[in-house]
Structure 1
Amino acid sequence: MARSPDVDVAGSSGIDDADTLHILSEQGELGSTLTARVGGEVVDFSPYVRADDTEHLRSLYRDMYLIRRFDQESTALQRQGQLALWVPLTGQEGAQIGSGRALQPQDYAFPTYREHGVALTRGVEPADLLRLFRGVTNGGWDPREHNFHLYTLVLAAQCLHAVGYAMGLQRDQLAEPSLPPAASIAYFGDGASSEGDVHESMVFAASFKAPVVFFCQNNQWAISVPSTVQTRVPLAQRAAGYGFPGIRVDGNDVVAVEAVTRWALEHARSGRGPVLIEAYTYRMSAHTTADDPTKYRLSEDERQWRTRDPLLRLETHLRSTGQADDAFFEGLDAQARTMTTGLREAVLSMPVPDLEDRFASVYAEPHPLVQEELAFFREYQAGFADDGQVS
């Protein structure tokens, strides 16, 4: 029997906040919680829930499964020296696929460097994501083609970009009322919430009622700093200080995430201003492949969160309600094997990057400091020489 990759059996929920919206129980049953307090008011999210659409639920699971397999293969490629670095997303598939599937074509997403699941929902080819991490390009895809911006490695800078873009959307729609209403969405983590760029973005967004959704994936860790150090209150509550709604959603419940994001985007598009979503989830892997999470967190915590896996929750629901059988999961596994084989072939066919080229792309003209660093790099490389040959 096919099983979600790398998950354990279901357990109890770790989210005790009554204001946290969840729809699927940990046992995969549809819960009765379809309302949540947002800005002091109770909002009914039932019009935004698509829990009765079997094919839709299956497609949500398919996206989560494929992006996890993509993540696993990418991690393996980095460990084998084919990628310079990789940024895993395991555990955050529900937050990313749920929010990405809520976007309409005219909306524009501004990711960090971990939104591989959102990229999938926007039609970005998985191999194009890896071109950046192999070091053969500074981008990898055309943002205008997918309405999905290039990855932003400067922490929280994408929030400023998203607000500026949203303010541009306002002006475009004033100039051309026939344009379909659109919004931008800014993804960031709990660690980035401590950056000044996030604060400045929310100030501007509130002042101009910009059509933007701030989507915070609270995965509990800012590299090695726990979220309890980042904030003393749920991050969603910060929105009240800026004067717009904030809501916390169970980020491991893909159905709830999609519903909340659909509502928030509709709120923004309709001219009512920004929304902050805090998707409460957990990074079940390392921050990057250069990180060792065993140095700063307990294996027991990881084990507990694995019982809340977003794939397992939806799989349990699909099986228990008869909406998917072994044939579905086995077919999906075969599809994933084909995808990962093609992914590996695509990466191995990419050029082997020449690190010296990176020095030539810092400035348009030669720069003495960069030339000094290049000379140091060449000297370092020469230290590996064997009989005059650089290994």
Structure 2
Amino acid sequence: MTTTRSEVVYTPTFTDGDEFRLPTFKLLQQDGTLYDGAETPDLDRDKALRIYRAMVFTRVLDERMLAAQRQGRLSFYMQCTGEEAAVIGSTAALDDADMIMAQYREQGALAYRGFTTDEFMNQLFGNEQDYGKGRQMPIHYGSAKLHYMTISSPLATQIPQATGYAYGQKLAGKGHCTITYFGEGAASEGDFHAALNMAAVHKVPVIFFCRNNGYAISTPAIEQFAADGVAPRAFGYKMQVIRVDGNDILAVHEATKAARRMAVEDNCPVLIEAMTYRLAAHSSSDDPSGYRSKKEEEAWREKDPILRMQRWLLDRQWWNEDDEKALQESLRREVLETMKRAEKRPPPALETLVSDVYDEVTPALAEQFEHLKMHIRKYPEAYPKSAGQAKGGA
């Protein structure tokens, strides 16, 4: 049985789909004014300032924590720099109870929802107050109360998981959806295609949000795919799709708000491709000078999404230079002071290595744990005494 609805032709007819080039949705220019013909979005002052604070906080956090990594105080870090509008603008368009399944560069989503500076730092330093109990490397955040699924390292695993979770939301019928974030590099993984196909077939309320930042680590987009970006792939799955300027906070917010409405009201999966740029290195282990030029980076710095929103706020007289100075100073002080507290907290108790793995600690894990304690007692000089180890009985 066929499900296609194509017309019949009697000569070979081929197409590469190039005639279906997608436009890019924009509202806000870099000078802070709207494009001619663009309608002023329905965004009130309080929400706009909440968005802006989250953007600035994310930038400050990224700058300080990369510096901490370079000082040897932190093992690893990944920045959101340059992509704040894509992440925070889309999160702000959701209901706070909608599920977020992030990749690894969406700390701004947590900041917008109210993840505290202490909570960020506890995870980054893996101390005794880390929700993940120090089991993960830095930036692998998670928060049940903020509906933010814990990040995992393998690329694209969260995309099919988002489809499955959204299917559950559809069955629950409580009017919620799931958004999943990923880069254009992750869209080259098989999980991306499996997830979109399942979502389209089962009609689930999920938003696939692709941050097309130009590079999959060092591989430029031009070497990843020959088509017009990621967005046209939605046609193959009969899915709603939009391409948006990822550095335009207003356009991202409006596009995601409309996508959420379709997802929740019509159980319609949506693909959003946000065109942006990773101004920072891929991670603290990466040196982007080996694969892109300073000239290219500087051209994108002129499109800074935070500066663009700041100018819009100034133009509307919702913000001023004194407000900006006070915010920057308070956030820098808050991040620095919180970091100093977090890195002094002891690590999690040793027994947390095996607790919560299963409902009850299995005999095999218990045996491994005893061997670990024996090892630490045998080589105490290699394991400095800490409150966490003391609690574990080593």
Query: The TM-score by the shorter chain falls in which range?
Result: 0.7 to 0.9
Which 5+ residue runs of structure 2 have no aligned equivalent? 1-20, 128-133, 385-394
Change over 3 Å in CA distance of 1:86–1:270 after alignment to 2? same
Which amino acid counterpart does residue 99 of structure 2 have in structure 1? Y
The separation in 2 between residues aligned to 1:153 and 1:195, in whole angstroms, is 14
Aligned with 2:211 (options 217, 223, 243): 217
CA shift digits 1:280-317 (9 cap, x unpaired): 11110111101111111111110000000001111222
Deviates more, 1:134-143 or 1:329-338: 134-143
Report the secondary structure of 2:172's partner residue.
helix
Contact 2:97 2:176 in 1 (8 A): yes
Counterpart in 2 of 1:118?
109
The one-character-per-residue Cα deviations of 1:58-105 (angstroms, maximum 9, x if unpaired) are: 332222111110111111222222222101110011111101111102
Q: CA deviation at 1:245?
A: 1.1
User: Map of 1:246-325 to 2, 5 A cutoff?
Assistant: 246-325=241-320
Partner of 2:231: 236
Please name the residue that 2:387 is paired with.
none
For residues 341 and 116 of structure 1, what CA distance do their matches in structure 2 show? 17
| CA displacement at 1:351 relative to structure 2 | 2.5
- Work out the CA distance in 2 between the residues paired with 1:234 and 1:27: 27
* Structure with greater Cα Rg: 2
CA contact (8 A) 2:52 2:306 kept: yes
What secondary structure sits across from 2:92 in the alignment?
Answer: helix
TM-score (normalised: structure 1): 0.79
Mapped pair 1:351 → 2:342: no
SS of residue in 2 equivalent to 1:264: helix
Whichever residue aligns with residue 154 of structure 2, its letter is V
Match of 2:119 among 128, 133, 136: 128
Secondary structure class of the residue paired with 1:146: coil
1:161-216 superposed Cα distances (whole Å, 9 cap, x missing partner): 1111100011111xxxxx3x110001111110000011100010000001000001
Quote the Cα distance in structure 2 between the aligned partners of 1:351 and 1:184.
Answer: 35
RMSD after superposition: 3.0
- What CA distance in whole angstroms lies between the structure 1 residues aligned with 2:83 and 2:108? 9
Correspondence for 2:24 among 20, 25, 32: 20
Higher relative contact order (CA 8 A, sep 6+): 1
Structure 1 runs of 4+ aligned residues shifted over 4 Å read 139-142, 352-367, 388-391
State the number of aligned residues: 343
Match of 1:32 in 2: 36
User: Measured at CA, do residues 357 and 145 of structure 1 come closer, stay the same or move farther in structure 2, by a change above 3 Å?
Assistant: closer
Q: Post-superposition shift, 1:33?
A: 5.3
Query: Are the aligned partners of 2:214 and 2:221 in contact in 1 as well (CA < 8 Å)?
Result: yes
Q: Contact 1:54/1:323 (CA < 8 Å) preserved in 2? A: yes
Q: For 1:183-194, what aligned pairs fall within 5 Å after superposition?
A: 183-194=177-188
Structure 1 portions without partners, runs of 5+ = 1-16, 35-45, 174-178
